[in-house]
Structure 1
């Protein structure tokens, strides 16, 4: 199962909210332990007002009907709110509603301990007057009790039982803390969390955005350095650990650039220095062949073969080292791609039937670099495969796509990402016996990159290899 990928900004914000939640729970637990808080605190706000209003509404409605209809009315309330309703007298005995058995923790709450004159008084039949705004709040409670545990809430009513003139209390029982929306409403809490999330995002956005933006830039720069762009540099304007990290990455890129430049310079110098002794050895071998005996001819031929292979390797080493400076040595020019591909085919595969589909496409690029890249790929295909095709097309984002396809042995899937590395040859399909040096596709990669493009390879269904070169239609000259 794939892991969920979250941006760094989201992770920081989520951890901040988790921290706030943990602190809130710890604070609530401490307050509850120190001040012995129960669930009554929930009735101090809107839920308490809601229950008090429900009690007033029930009092007003019940005072207009005989007591014989109160059970029916309570059942209607239960259907509306999804909560069990019952009326208890001030001695803790149930008077109306579906029979419920209060747990021992609830019984003390049912007794009306208001002093005489403060409780409900028997009144003549008629409408109940609205309670004044400055009237003291009626006693109410809420707790969790019983086995299985249920939520109990109650409020004393301005309602008396006519039989014995006892005050009544409305008791509500629910299996959930929400109580059908009477005790607890989820949406206000969701709105609170959403508001906290939004506010936190707005407060933290400048700080976190600065970090994530820098890391994104650092990641992109590191990717370009990994691709050989050692002149890439990162801003060191930050005065913190990230600023120190950017300084270290810049120093690393500079050292890598110097190291790679030295390696390339050594490669070019060694290849250049090898040209003269190889040439002298070839001249000496020619003299030896003229003066040698027939018995020596076989050995001299093998020596000549090895010497020619060494000469080709040195030549490709020189070509490989020169591709690094192609953008400085060449300037973009208008290229007729159809004519260029025909020229490459005539040079590299004059006797091989090759199917081409190359329309007229506008292209401004480095002619010699593209010529060398196409030549190396085609020479590689001719060496190992048959049924070769060359296709070119224009993509929607102003790029030219050139594909060289064959029906050869292909390469192992694990070798595809290494094909364009210097001196790499997949042993399953290619070896020194076939004449390759392992530099042809590496030169192709540098030539294509000099044209501002990229090259990749993939195996074809049914066998064979496809090399795809993606080149911009117009290459701006190097400054």
Structure 2
């Protein structure tokens, strides 16, 4: 049986996920070694946009409230955004949503921002068509440059952007404690009131994502999950479309290997799998014709040889009464050879008949104890002991003739090879919807390497094929043919410390 971890379905899915990982790794490596790709700028757009919107809302609230309420206003916005806000003016005045100490590195960056060329720039009065910075006001340049002009950059990279009002002045991480800082410089409103100088609004968080304020990973994770789900939903039917027919073909070939040639694969496909199914069907048809023809040939030959052999035996018997001395001994040797040949022909005929009759066998409920007793009556020798342990009420679905023939062969083998070693036990017990019938002896058993070949036609464990050691190797083949004709199974094993067991499994009525 194929383990799930080694199945074709699992391997294809593993390769699919590995392919996704490799594509992701290749994309990450490409981005990492491309300095012109500014990932901070790409992922930071959301951060700066949210900070500008939050700044517009806070400036509006602060503009309409006295300074003593500014910390409370910042605290209210901090609760809404789940971050802390710090407001720093050029004269050193500072307001915050909660007490926060500015690390030296942060304070130096803020002071450096106030020393820029636009730090003392007072905004010109706004044009009539433009509004002051209020929630829901015009584009961002109302905050970045109230005059409507974009100040020129002072250099490349973050250092050049630090000195432009309305643009980020810092983005850093400090330790002890771990905090993430982001700040922008904003010019005072058109009517300064309590905003005499430009100011820096900073956002502080103990999370790199700012609890979703700096960067919200949930949309990206959701998109990745949706892409992965769609890919899996697309791949699974395709993989199933490949593995399911292969599984059916595997089961079919296993049945063909066990001797069932009536298996037909219905795979109306035009791809390679369909061609394979048609090839298996063609192979099954050819094998069935070959095996059936071979067994018919054996049966016909056996039947044709039966009559001449019977006449030869009759003639030799008559001749035996007229000879004496050395000639009689020579005749006896010839008679033994003819008897052995007659036995071989008889077993060949029984084997071919058993297999051919299996194609049209009619199964019926059978009294198992009656079949066992009939088989023992046929084959039990006077000096052997057979112990039967079968429930009288036990019934199986089988053909009485074929099942009796199979048991008779097993009893005959037990008597021949182990009749003097101890009693032969015939035991039957129920196993769910089946009946296990075991024929046990106390003989030496069979070498383990031969167990799988015992039911093959003409197989004998003795390489010499000595006539005195056994028959022609068709007895167990007949047993297998008869049992499988009854929709059952048969297998053999050795038992410890000695003995040989043949188990027949049949459907229970």
Give the TM bin, normalised by the shorter chain.
0.7 to 0.9
What is the match of residue 116 of structure 1?
119
What is the match of residue 381 of structure 1?
414
**SS of corresponding position for 2:244:** helix
**SS of corresponding position for 2:260:** coil
Question: Following the alignment from structure 2 to structure 1, what is the Cα–Cα distance between the partners of residues 492 and 114?
Answer: 86
Question: Offset of 1:7 from its aligned partner?
Answer: 3.8
Distance change (3 Å), C-alpha of 1:229 and 1:339: closer
Match 1:90 to one of 94, 109, 122: 109
**SS of corresponding position for 1:90:** helix
Is the contact made by 1:419 and 1:441 (CA closer than 8 Å) also made in structure 2? yes
**SS of corresponding position for 1:423:** coil
Question: Offset of 1:374 from its aligned partner?
Answer: 0.6
Question: Following the alignment from structure 1 to structure 2, what is the Cα–Cα distance between the partners of residues 439 and 19?
Answer: 56
What is the match of residue 168 of structure 2?
139
1:393 maps to 2:393 = no
Is the contact made by 1:455 and 1:468 (CA closer than 8 Å) also made in structure 2? yes
Q: Over residues 247-289 of structure 1, what are the superposed CA-to-partner deviations in whole Å (9 max), with x where a residue is unaligned? A: 2111111111121122112222222232233223323432442
User: Which is higher, the Rg of structure 1 or of structure 2?
Assistant: 2
Is the contact made by 1:138 and 1:155 (CA closer than 8 Å) also made in structure 2? no
Q: Over residues 317-338 of structure 1, what are the superposed CA-to-partner deviations in whole Å (9 max), with x where a residue is unaligned? A: 0000001222456533442221
What is the match of residue 355 of structure 1?
387
Of residues 410-419 and 133-142 in structure 1, the stretch that sits farther from structure 2 once superposed is 133-142
Distance change (3 Å), C-alpha of 1:306 and 1:191: farther
Question: Following the alignment from structure 2 to structure 1, what is the Cα–Cα distance between the partners of residues 115 and 488?
Answer: 87
Is the contact made by 1:424 and 1:438 (CA closer than 8 Å) also made in structure 2? yes
Match 1:63 to one of 95, 99, 104: 95
Question: Offset of 1:26 from its aligned partner?
Answer: 3.8
Distance change (3 Å), C-alpha of 1:425 and 1:89: same
Question: Following the alignment from structure 1 to structure 2, what is the Cα–Cα distance between the partners of residues 431 and 114?
Answer: 114
1:448 maps to 2:483 = yes
**SS of corresponding position for 2:321:** helix
Is the contact made by 2:380 and 2:412 (CA closer than 8 Å) also made in structure 1? yes
Question: Following the alignment from structure 1 to structure 2, what is the Cα–Cα distance between the partners of residues 403 and 430?
Answer: 27
Question: Offset of 1:445 from its aligned partner?
Answer: 0.4
Question: Offset of 1:28 from its aligned partner?
Answer: 4.8
Pairing of 1:25-104 with structure 2 (within 5 A):
25-30=25-30, 36-40=36-40, 41-45=42-46, 57-59=84-86, 63-64=95-96, 70-71=100-101, 87-90=106-109
What is the match of residue 419 of structure 1?
454
Match 2:439 to one of 394, 404, 407: 404
What is the match of residue 107 of structure 1?
none
Is the contact made by 2:168 and 2:185 (CA closer than 8 Å) also made in structure 1? no
Question: Following the alignment from structure 2 to structure 1, what is the Cα–Cα distance between the partners of residues 216 and 452?
Answer: 58
Question: Offset of 1:467 from its aligned partner?
Answer: 0.9
Pairing of 1:212-227 with structure 2 (within 5 A):
212-227=243-258
**SS of corresponding position for 1:237:** coil
Distance change (3 Å), C-alpha of 1:435 and 1:156: same
Distance change (3 Å), C-alpha of 1:453 and 1:65: closer
Q: Over residues 174-208 of structure 1, what are the superposed CA-to-partner deviations in whole Å (9 max), with x where a residue is unaligned? A: 9xx99999999999877665544432232234333
Question: Following the alignment from structure 1 to structure 2, what is the Cα–Cα distance between the partners of residues 432 and 49?
Answer: 99
Question: Following the alignment from structure 1 to structure 2, what is the Cα–Cα distance between the partners of residues 473 and 118?
Answer: 100
**SS of corresponding position for 1:455:** strand
Question: Following the alignment from structure 2 to structure 1, what is the Cα–Cα distance between the partners of residues 44 and 412?
Answer: 86
What is the match of residue 232 of structure 1?
263
Match 2:357 to one of 326, 339, 350: 326
Question: Following the alignment from structure 1 to structure 2, what is the Cα–Cα distance between the partners of residues 142 and 407?
Answer: 88
Question: Following the alignment from structure 1 to structure 2, what is the Cα–Cα distance between the partners of residues 326 and 413?
Answer: 32
Of residues 203-212 and 341-350 in structure 1, the stretch that sits farther from structure 2 once superposed is 203-212
Pairing of 1:167-186 with structure 2 (within 5 A):
none
Unaligned runs of 5+ in 1: 75-84, 94-109, 120-129, 145-150, 160-164, 475-479
Matched pairs, number: 422
- With the length of structure 1 as denominator, give the TM-score of the two structures: 0.73
Distance change (3 Å), C-alpha of 1:31 and 1:364: closer
Match 1:207 to one of 235, 238, 244: 238
Question: Following the alignment from structure 2 to structure 1, what is the Cα–Cα distance between the partners of residues 218 and 442?
Answer: 65
Distance change (3 Å), C-alpha of 1:328 and 1:207: closer
Question: Offset of 1:298 from its aligned partner?
Answer: 3.1
What is the match of residue 5 of structure 2?
5
What is the match of residue 96 of structure 1?
none
Question: Following the alignment from structure 2 to structure 1, what is the Cα–Cα distance between the partners of residues 443 and 111?
Answer: 95
Question: Offset of 1:394 from its aligned partner?
Answer: 2.2
Is the contact made by 1:86 and 1:171 (CA closer than 8 Å) also made in structure 2? no
